[in-house]
């Protein structure tokens, strides 16, 4: 097993444990409400190497999402958002692609690319994940204003946590 695979396994376990043991306990919003959902586990999907095939990315998205669903008792809500993020990830990458293109041998980390690019990429990824999550959770467009509010607030706070994690742990691959 090479070091990149081992690093990704450790990253998956670490982000999953952080999400389900610590972040799950945090309730942000008015008096115990769940207006703001914190998501750090999509960071794992965002940091998957470029050379990973699309099918494997979708499978990884499902495994990550269903793992979180098992702890949140949410019947596929996280899995659907993660699979959707894995599905649109190539399009997001195309939108934020640098002029020189990507070096497929490097990881998608701020250290390897640059922080400006990573902020745009992570922001779009978090937006896609959070919007899908809140739309599937509400299962209606009737409360689209509330869904949009939840999405914007969740993305803002989730990105803050994701950037702190990236700064602290400084992923190489």
Task: Give the pLDDT of residue 8.
Answer: 84
In a domain, 126, yes or no: yes
Note the pTM of the prediction, 2 decimals. Answer: 0.89
In a domain, 7, yes or no: yes
73-90: per-residue pLDDT in tens? 888 999 999 999 999 999
Q: What is the DSSP letter of 28?
A: B
Place of tokens 């070096």: 103
Q: How many domains is the chain partitioned into structurally?
A: 1
Show the tokens assigned to 20.
């389900």
Q: What is the mean pLDDT of residues 147-155?
A: 93
166 within 8 A of 110, measured Cβ to Cβ: yes
In a domain, 31, yes or no: no
Give the C-alpha distances (Å, rounded to integers) separating 58 from 117, 126, 165: 23, 16, 24
In a domain, 75, yes or no: yes
In a domain, 124, yes or no: yes
Phi then psi for 28, rounded to 5 degrees? -110, 135
Could you list the residue range(s) of the whole structural domain that residue 124 is in?
A: 3-23+36-169
Q: What is the mean pLDDT of residues 39-49?
A: 93
110-133: per-residue pLDDT in tens? 777 778 888 999 999 999 999 999
In a domain, 18, yes or no: yes
Q: How far apart, in whole angstroms, are the C-alpha atoms of residue 67 and residue 44?
A: 13
């Amino acid at each position: 097993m090479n070091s990149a695979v081992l690093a990704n396994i450790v990253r998956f376990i670490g982000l999953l444990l952080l999400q389900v043991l610590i972040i799950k306990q945090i309730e942000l919003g008015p008096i115990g409400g769940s207006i703001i959902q914190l998501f750090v586990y999509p960071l794992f999907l965002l940091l998957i190497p470029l050379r990973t095939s699309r099918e494997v990315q979708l499978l990884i998205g499902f495994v990550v999402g269903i793992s979180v669903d098992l702890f949140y008792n949410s019947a596929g809500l996280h899995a659907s958002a993660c699979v959707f993020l894995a599905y649109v990830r190539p399009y997001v990458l195309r939108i934020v692609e640098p002029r020189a293109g990507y070096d497929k041998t490097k990881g998608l980390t701020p250290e390897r690319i640059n922080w400006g690019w990573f902020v745009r990429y992570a922001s779009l990824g978090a937006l896609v994940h959070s919007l899908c999550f809140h739309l599937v959770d509400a299962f209606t467009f009737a409360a689209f204003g509330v869904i949009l509010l939840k999405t914007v607030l969740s993305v803002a706070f989730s990105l803050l946590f994701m950037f702190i994690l990236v700064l602290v742990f400084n992923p190489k691959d």
